[in-house]
Every structure is written in structure tokens, then in C-alpha cells.
Amino acid sequence: MTAIIKPAPVRKSVTVDVPVATAFEVFTSGFGRWWPASHSIGKSALRSATIEPKAGGRWFETGEDGTECDWGEVLAWEPPNRIVLAWRIRADWQYDPSLLTEVEINFSEAGENATRVELEHRRLENMGAAGEAVREIFESDRGWSGILKNYVQLIEKR
């Protein structure tokens, strides 16, 4: 009998020196300002990345040529404390509407005018045999650690 090992979720957190509502707003409405241009699945260079502000909204990128590539959708929209996104990008960095992994971000008070931002990328077992390799990428500085550094840097510039 072969045991199947489920990849652990990737969990990352940062603390930013802004109120919860501001941290949420920068993360969501300001998403295209801090998401790295190198992290694109489109054929054209990344111009912007967008999270539509509602449950059922799209999560997508727009290329320099105006084409759009879906990444997933908004599963939960609970401003200013929580958002859950469907990540539907396979290990080969192609969109797959039948794939579902989830990225949950929670925003909570961490003192006066400070917010703890906690991100969890889960259900990586849905990527099949590539799940653990993808988890290692998400865990690395090329993954959520580095991406969240961009978010923190944008807040620090405010």
C-alpha cells in the first residue's frame, strides 16, 4: 500500500504599520501596484494585476497588449478582515479552470495602527504529483515571501 502525503499549506505573515482597513485596501485595490511584474502567465508582459472587490469577482492579469489572463476568482470578500482567492494556475504556470487551490489572507489588529497580515495557500494536493514541488516554490523568496516583501515595501512608501 502506498501512502499519499498531502503537501502542507504555505503560511506566511507580515506586520505592517497601518490600520487594518488600510492594509486590506492596499492588498486588494492596490494589488497591481505591488504584485511583481515577473510573476505573469500571459504571453505579453504584465501591465497590471487585479482583484475584483466582491465574492465571485475575477482575479486576473492584464498584459501590455491589453489581453487578460485569469488566475482564479474571489471566493470570500470580507473587508477589511479577510479575502479568499481561488488559485487556478497549474505547476506549469498555465490557467486551469478545473484546478482549485486557495489563498486566504486575514488582516487583524497588531497594536495601535499596526496590522498582522496572514496568508495561507492551501489545497496544494489538488496539483497532483507536482504539489510538493510547487509548495517549495511558494515557500521560497520567489514565492509568497518575496511577493509579500513587495506589499510591505509599498506600504512603507506611503
Secondary structure of 47-84 as H, E, C letters: EEEEECCCCCCEEEEEECCCCEEEEEEEEEEECCCEEE
The pLDDT value given to residue 2: 60
The pLDDT value given to residue 3: 58
pTM metric for this prediction: 0.94
The pLDDT value given to residue 34: 96
How far is C-alpha 116 from the geometric centre of its chain's CA atoms? 16
The pLDDT value given to residue 23: 98
The pLDDT value given to residue 137: 95
Q: How high is the mean pLDDT in each 10-residue block of the chain (158 residues)?
A: 77 98 97 95 96 98 97 98 98 96 98 96 95 94 95 93
The pLDDT value given to residue 145: 95
What is 10-128's CATH topology? Alpha-D-Glucose-1,6-Bisphosphate; Chain A, domain 4 (3.30.530)
The pLDDT value given to residue 4: 63
Task: Give residue 35's identity as a one-letter amino acid code.
Answer: W
Alpha-carbon span 87 to 93, nearest angstrom: 11
